[in-house]
Amino acid sequence: MAFENLRKYWPTYSFAQPFHAMMLLAAIVASFLFFPGQGTGDEKGSGGTLVKFLHLFCVSAHFGTQVWVTFVAGLTMFHNLPRHTFGHIQGHLFPKYFTMGSVLGLVAMVTYMYEYRHGNLTTHQQVEFGILVAVFVSALLNAAVVGPISLDIMNQQYAIEKEHGHGHEVGTHPAGKIQQDQKYQNVRKRFFKYHGISSLVNMVALVGNGVHVYYLASQMAGI
């Protein structure tokens, strides 16, 4: 149930997305050749440039996706698409969004652990590791539990709305006789409950990544 929608994902074209991926990989390889940094991490206490790159890439990719989905894509679709169309699109996007966040969060957490595998962590490093754990757990919770439940309840709500001839409204909930339908009101309350939980859990991951990005910035010697 949690990941069934992922089977439907495939690049839109057989050339465009793979080509972008190949160019990105080539650019990364070229960067390692021209800017070798610390190499593979022979220095004690350092995971080297590769581990640092993986960590920074995963944190920034996750954080950037969160900002886009939360503040741009979702609001744009909500204010311009019929409610049911918006909901069904979100129903296909969110499983991928949460799953990708779980994977990126896991890699960020593991690479951080690997980077500081030698010696004891300072208080600040312990806090940052706790934040990364919270980010990973939050994304995983949404991917495996809260998200699928919210999607199932949303489909129940939409089914009732269709029976009453609703679903074409943009940005607002239907009014009229449907508001007297007790079954609809119960389903709607459950949806708001789980949608609120999902939003709160997503906020934890968003804030956690924001704090960690600031922490990484504070560790930079320069730009």
Query: What is this structure's pTM?
Result: 0.84
59: nearest Cα among 104, 115, 117, 123: 104
- For residue 100 the two structure tokens come to 């990708």
Domain-by-domain residue ranges, the chain? 43-218
CA distance 111 to 115: 6
* pLDDT per position as a tens digit, 157-167: 999 888 888 87
CA distance readout (Å), 17 to 10, 11, 23, 60, 133: 10, 6, 10, 20, 31
**Residue 30 Cα to chain centre, angstroms:** 28
Q: Which residue has the tokens 């960590």?
A: 55
> Is 60 exceeded by the pLDDT of residue 213?
yes
> Which residues are bridge partners to 127 per DSSP?
none
Report in angstroms the alpha-carbon separations of 12 from 8, 19, 101, 142, 155: 11, 12, 21, 26, 26
Q: Please, where are the H alpha helices in 116-146?
A: 123-141
Cα–Cα dist 30/45, whole Å: 26
User: Per-residue pLDDT tens for 93-151?
Assistant: 999 999 999 999 999 999 999 988 877 888 899 999 999 999 999 999 999 999 999 99
Single-letter amino acid code for the residue at 117:
R
Compute the distance between CA of residue 115 and CA of residue 124 in angstroms, rounded to an integer.
Answer: 15
